[in-house]
């Protein structure tokens, strides 16, 4: 069963209508249900516009004469039947119970109400439906964490609504089910903009599943525009499967069709996960059939490899710290000898280079010179012979070899 949620930001203009029509012509056969929000059309236009879009398919709609809200559920499969349907709130929720070949599924399209009374009413209704079979809740919730996190219109601060939603997550043990959301710096909210560099001050958006014994409900919420910013006004395509169908496989996992939303950043992230932990023979950009267990296993493996890399890096750093000869450990005689050798090298370079090297070497330059020697040791401190040193220096740069030879030939530190 494939569902698309889309805040169309108005269907009054012909340009927006044509945009939705074009999308339906391209992807309509794949989609079973189209949930629209923010229709922004009055009562006399609502049914006409939706009939034009669905081309004879079934639909239910809620609308408002205020021209701001409105939500609709369009059933695009002719062989599906609507058992029940209705609306809730002031142009906020349209819902339908649909009889599919795999069972009965409830779908609700929600455009978040802006008054406290209506918000409470809608959330109470949502909570009641959660345990009543299978539900897919789609929409633009119009709720924010703080008043500053808004686009300038009347902000709706998320207080009791967030607590209600968090209670649902906790009650149904959904804390580990935010795979795609975690890729978008979620996990519980999409953000219209970042406030004070805090990702938790965000809008509550998009698609949520309920869980049941027959359908393995998962929550997915990804929405941003072509420039990588989160957006309410892009279609989000979702595919779910009945537990007992689909090549005889056990379990139900969603498929996120990123190519339908042109979300290049999400595509690249998924491709990266496939490269790091998936089948190298499979083109990640052509296969979006993400099985939950496999995807979760990939993420766990990637995180494990990152922890091992960090561990190896820390061990290497500790080893370098143990073997490095620090500047403070050099005697005054060694420092004088190093400066003398540097001056000898300066005589061999060109006049232009000499202008840069004529100054007294800094502590950092001396330290780098010491560390460039074989084994990171200062000459004369490890008892190496000239023959052993020359043998180690076969692959060294010529000026370093000359420096080593001059240094040992005069036995300045031995």
Amino acid 179: pLDDT: 29
User: Is position 294 within any domain?
Assistant: no
Amino acid 171: pLDDT: 58
**Residues 242, 359 within the same domain:** no
The residue out of 230, 256, 282 marking a domain boundary is 256
**Residues 331, 210 within the same domain:** no
User: Is position 380 within any domain?
Assistant: yes
- Whether the model clears a pTM of 0.75, i.e. scores above it, the answer is no
**Residues 383, 240 within the same domain:** no
Amino acid 312: pLDDT: 76
**Residues 143, 239 within the same domain:** yes
User: Is position 362 within any domain?
Assistant: yes
Amino acid 210: pLDDT: 47
From residue 36, alpha-carbon distances to 16, 114, 316, 407 in Å are: 13, 18, 55, 80
**Residues 383, 246 within the same domain:** no
Query: Which residues 6+ apart lie within 8 Å of 175 measured at CB?
Result: 169
Amino acid 7: pLDDT: 76
Amino acid 53: pLDDT: 77
CB distance 406 to 341 below 8 Å: yes
**Residues 243, 357 within the same domain:** no
Amino acid 38: pLDDT: 79
| CATH value at residue 59 | 3.60.10.10
Q: How many structural domains does the chain have? A: 2
User: Is position 51 within any domain?
Assistant: yes
User: Is position 318 within any domain?
Assistant: no
**Residues 252, 336 within the same domain:** no
Amino acid 10: pLDDT: 78
Amino acid 56: pLDDT: 57
pLDDT in tens, the chain (414 residues): 777 777 787 777 788 888 888 877 777 777 788 888 878 777 677 777 877 777 656 665 555 444 456 788 888 887 888 888 888 766 678 888 888 877 788 888 887 766 667 777 777 787 777 667 777 777 766 554 444 444 444 444 445 555 555 565 555 544 433 323 322 333 333 334 443 444 443 344 444 554 444 444 343 333 333 444 444 455 655 555 444 443 333 322 333 333 333 334 444 554 555 555 444 445 443 443 443 345 445 556 656 776 777 777 777 666 656 555 444 455 566 666 656 655 555 455 455 454 544 444 555 655 565 566 555 444 443 444 444 545 555 554 454 556 555 555 554 443
User: Is position 320 within any domain?
Assistant: no
Amino acid 22: pLDDT: 80
User: Is position 309 within any domain?
Assistant: no
Amino acid 280: pLDDT: 41
Amino acid 224: pLDDT: 38
**Residues 229, 372 within the same domain:** no
- Domain containing 361 equals 327-409
Amino acid 86: pLDDT: 82
């Amino acid at each position: 069963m494939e569902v698309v949620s889309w805040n169309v930001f108005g269907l009054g203009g012909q340009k927006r209508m044509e945009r939705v029509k074009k999308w339906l012509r391209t992807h309509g056969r794949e989609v079973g249900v189209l949930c629209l929000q923010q229709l922004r059309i009055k009562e006399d236009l609502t049914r006409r516009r939706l009939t034009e879009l669905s081309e004879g398919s079934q639909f239910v709609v809620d609308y408002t004469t205020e021209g701001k809200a409105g939500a609709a559920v369009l059933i695009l499969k002719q062989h599906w039947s609507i058992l029940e349907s209705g609306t809730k709130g002031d142009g906020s929720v349209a819902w339908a119970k649909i009889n599919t070949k795999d069972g009965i599924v409830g779908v609700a399209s929600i455009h978040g109400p802006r008054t406290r009374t209506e918000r409470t009413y809608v959330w109470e209704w949502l909570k009641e439906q959660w345990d009543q079979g299978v539900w897919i809740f789609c929409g633009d919730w119009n709720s924010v964490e703080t008043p500053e996190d808004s686009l300038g219109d009347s902000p709706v601060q998320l207080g009791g609504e967030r607590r209600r939603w968090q209670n649902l997550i906790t009650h149904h043990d959904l804390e580990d089910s935010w795979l795609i959301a975690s890729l978008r710096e979620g996990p519980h909210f999409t953000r219209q903009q970042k406030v004070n560099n805090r990702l938790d001050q965000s809008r509550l958006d998009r698609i949520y599943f309920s869980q049941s014994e027959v359908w393995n409900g998962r929550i997915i919420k990804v929405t941003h525009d072509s420039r990588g910013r989160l957006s309410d006004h892009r279609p989000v395509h979702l595919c779910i499967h009945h537990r007992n169908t689909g090549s005889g496989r056990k379990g139900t996992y969603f498929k996120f069709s990123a190519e339908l939303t042109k979300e290049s950043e999400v595509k690249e992230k998924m491709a990266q996960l496939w490269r790091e932990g998936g089948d190298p023979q499979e083109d990640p950009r052509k296969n979006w059939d993400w099985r939950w267990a496999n995807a979760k296993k990939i993420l766990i493996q990637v995180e494990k490899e990152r922890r091992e890399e960090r561990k190896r890096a820390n061990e290497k750093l500790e080893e370098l710290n143990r073997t490095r000869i620090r500047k403070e450990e050099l005697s005054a005689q060694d420092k004088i000898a190093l400066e003398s050798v540097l001056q000898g090298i300066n005589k061999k370079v060109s006049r232009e280079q000499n202008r840069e090297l004529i100054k007294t070497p800094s502590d950092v330059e001396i330290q780098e010179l010491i560390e460039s020697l074989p084994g990171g040791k200062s000459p004369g401190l490890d008892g190496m012979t000239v023959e052993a040193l020359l043998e180690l220096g076969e692959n060294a740069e010529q000026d370093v070899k000359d420096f080593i030879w001059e240094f040992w030939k005069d036995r300045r530190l031995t």
